[in-house]
């Protein structure tokens, strides 16, 4: 057999195989009239997608006359819906640079996002990080998140100050540190740049 004959036989076999495989496939006809078709594949989440969520669940406030001040503050924080900002005081007695405070703020922002807390942290001074949130109802989660961070000592959200249980107020700790520095430590008040803005 010549090369041309072999080529023609191979080509005709390939065409025959392709024709049979196309003939085996049937086309699906979709009619234009779909009035009688029921589409029940959509779930409720898909139907609600893109709609503004209304707060249909009304949680009436409790009787404040029977609550102590801490419980009242907790109830007020649950009902905060607007933007919130606050400050996190860092552990006292640690020398930091502007870059270190910025790194702490960036780290907290990234970690908070993984926990679905939409908060932005920014270095304020060498001992303080400022935090802003668009959704105030997440303030309790923000407080718990910050108190879990080793670098944070005290958190102030609005007029409320939070710290770990058993920790003394920040003013007492800074006074003790200043007392030590006055008794012969290297640091002097002239060298204290802790309130220098970033």
Return the pLDDT at 188.
47
Residue of 66 and 191 predicted with greater confidence: 66
Contact between residue 129 and residue 104 where contact means Cβ atoms under 8 Å apart: yes
**pLDDT for position 196:** 58
Helix (H, G, I), strand (E, B) or coil at 192: coil
Residues 16 and 127: their CA atoms lie apart, in Å, by 81
Q: Who wins on pLDDT, 37 or 125?
A: 125
The mean pLDDT value for 178-193 works out to: 58
pLDDT of amino acid 44? 74
Query: How many residues does the structure list for the chain?
Result: 198
Please state, rounded to an integer, the average pLDDT across all residues of the chain.
77
User: How many Cβ atoms sit within 10 Å of the Cβ of residue 126?
Assistant: 20
* Residue-level pLDDT at 189: 47
How large a percentage of the chain has pLDDT more than 70?
75
> Domain 81-181 in CATH: superfamily?
ACT domain (3.30.70.260)
Span of 12-26, 111-125, 151-165 with lowest mean pLDDT: 12-26
State the pLDDT confidence band at 4, using cuts at 50, 70 and 90: confident
């Amino acid at each position: 057999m010549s090369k041309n004959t072999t080529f023609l036989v191979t080509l005709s076999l390939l065409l025959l195989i392709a024709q049979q495989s196309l003939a085996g496939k049937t086309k699906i006809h979709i009619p234009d009239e779909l009035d009688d078709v029921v589409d029940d594949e959509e779930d409720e989440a898909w139907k609600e997608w893109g709609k503004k969520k209304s707060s249909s669940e009304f949680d009436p406030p409790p009787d404040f006359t029977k609550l102590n001040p801490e419980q009242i503050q907790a109830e007020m924080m649950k009902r905060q819906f607007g933007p919130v900002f606050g400050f996190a005081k860092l552990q006292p007695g640690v020398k930091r640079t502007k870059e270190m405070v910025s790194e702490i703020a960036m780290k907290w922002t990234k970690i908070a996002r993984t926990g679905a807390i939409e908060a932005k942290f920014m270095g304020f001074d060498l001992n303080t990080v400022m935090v802003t949130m668009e959704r105030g109802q997440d303030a309790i989660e923000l407080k718990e998140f910050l108190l879990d961070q080793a670098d944070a000592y005290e958190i102030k959200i609005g007029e409320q100050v939070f710290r770990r249980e058993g920790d003394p107020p920040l003013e007492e700790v800074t006074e003790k540190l200043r007392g030590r520095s006055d008794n012969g430590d290297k640091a002097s008040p002239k060298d204290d740049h802790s309130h220098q803005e970033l």
